[in-house]
Every structure is written in structure tokens, then in C-alpha cells.
């Protein structure tokens, strides 16, 4: 396994819509292992393939540091079947260091995905897991959490980012 380099805002790959994973071949399985190691090393609770420069619909999530009973989840070509309710949570992202903001998302989620054995599974998620899954699926569509905050907050973020770059 290897720790991969995490792409940071405003790298282009983060804004691209990712392609479906076609085969769960050795290359993809190794990428999954490397993404898991990279997520734990960061440390983070989720990581999507575009964040390591691979524009494929693949993500890993482990929120067990916050909710111990929730297992590691691998999402391969995930599709949201149902969403319900609303929840607001202070989000961050490994691709946007040193910045967090409140984001509104669906509170409950039903998702269909492949697991790493290639089986189709449905996941019912609520609360933090629901938020994490939506955040990672957003990455697969080239959407960052800063795209889901108010225009004023986004402008503040960009101003702060430019200041940081200049210093």
C-alpha cells in the first residue's frame, strides 16, 4: 500500500465529473487500498478518487473515529436512490485545508453502490454517514463543499485563499 498525494483546491481534476469504474481489476483494487491508507494517514473520514488525481467514480469513507459502530465503506459507481430531510453540519475537506463551513444536506439517504467484491449493495445512511456519502459523491461530480455555501461565504473563502497564496 502507498500513501498518495492529495490534490488541493483549485486543481482541475477536482472540478471534473468522474467516469464510471468499468472493471474491478487489480489496478482498481490497489487504488482502493492506497486510498484507504491515504485517508487514514491524512487523517480524514473520507476520500474520493479525484482527490488523488484519478477521475473515476470511487470513494472510501470511515467515520468510525466519530461513530465507532460504522464500518469502512467503499463506494464504487454510487447512485443516490432516495434522500429525505435536512441537516446542517460544519464540513471540511482534505483538498481544502484549514477551512470549514456549514453545509446543508439531506439527513437520510438511500444509496446503491458496488462494494469491492463487485456486489451491488444498498446502504441506508443517516446523520454523519449520510453527510459523508453526499460529500464524497459530490467529489465524483466535480463539486466541492465550497460550491454549496452562500456566494458571500464563497467570496470570503476565495479572498482568503488568494491572500494565503500571495503571502
The single residue of 67, 82, 136, 155 carrying the catalytic annotation is 136
Task: Report CA torsion sign: 134, 135, 136, 141.
Answer: positive
Write out the binding residues for Ni ion, residues 52-81 only, by CB under 5 A: none
CB of 92 to Ni ion, least distance (A): 8
Q: How far is the CB of 131 from Ni ion (least distance, A)?
A: 11
Q: What b/e sequence results for 41-76 when a residue is b if at least 16 CB atoms lie within 10 Å of its CB, and e otherwise?
A: eeebbbbbbbbbebbbbbbbbbbeeeeeebeebbbb
Least CB distance from residue 112 to Ni ion, whole Å? 21
Candidates 108, 64, 66; CA nearest to 86 is 108
Part in contact with Ni ion (CB under 5 A); list of ranges 6-14, 64-72, 76-84, 92-100:
92-100
Catalytic status, residue 136: yes
- Alpha carbon of 39 to those of 28, 30, 77: distances in Å? 16, 14, 19
Between 12 and 25, whose beta carbon lies closer to Ni ion?
Answer: 12
d(CA 88, CA 26): 38
Shortest distance, CB of residue 9 to Ni ion, whole angstroms? 10
Q: 16 vs 120, which CB is nearer to Ni ion?
A: 16
Is position 132 an interface residue for Ni ion (rule: CB under 5 A)? no
Instruction: Give the number of other CB atoms < 10 A from CB of residue 142.
Output: 16
User: Which of 4, 93, 103, 123 touches Ni ion (CB under 5 A)?
Assistant: 93
User: Which residue ranges make up the site for Ni ion (CB under 5 A)?
Assistant: 93
Which positions are annotated as active-site residues? 136
Amino acid at each position: 500500500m502507498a500513501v498518495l498525494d492529495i490534490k488541493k483546491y483549485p486543481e482541475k481534476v477536482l472540478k471534473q465529473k468522474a467516469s464510471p469504474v468499468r472493471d474491478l481489476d487489480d489496478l482498481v483494487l490497489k487504488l482502493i487500498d492506497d486510498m484507504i491508507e491515504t485517508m487514514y494517514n491524512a487523517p480524514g473520514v473520507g476520500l474520493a478518487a479525484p482527490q488523488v488525481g484519478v477521475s473515476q467514480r470511487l470513494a472510501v469513507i470511515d467515520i468510525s473515529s466519530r461513530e465507532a459502530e460504522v464500518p469502512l465503506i467503499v463506494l464504487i459507481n454510487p447512485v443516490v436512490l432516495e434522500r429525505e430531510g435536512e441537516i446542517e453540519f460544519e464540513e471540511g475537506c482534505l483538498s481544502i485545508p484549514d477551512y470549514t463551513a456549514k453545509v446543508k444536506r439531506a439527513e437520510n439517504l438511500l444509496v446503491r453502490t458496488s462494494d469491492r467484491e463487485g456486489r451491488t449493495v444498498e446502504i441506508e445512511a443517516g446523520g454523519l454517514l449520510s453527510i459523508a456519502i453526499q460529500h464524497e459523491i459530490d467529489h465524483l461530480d466535480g463539486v466541492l463543499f465550497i460550491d454549496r455555501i452562500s456566494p458571500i461565504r464563497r467570496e470570503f473563502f476565495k479572498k482568503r485563499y488568494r491572500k494565503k497564496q500571495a503571502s
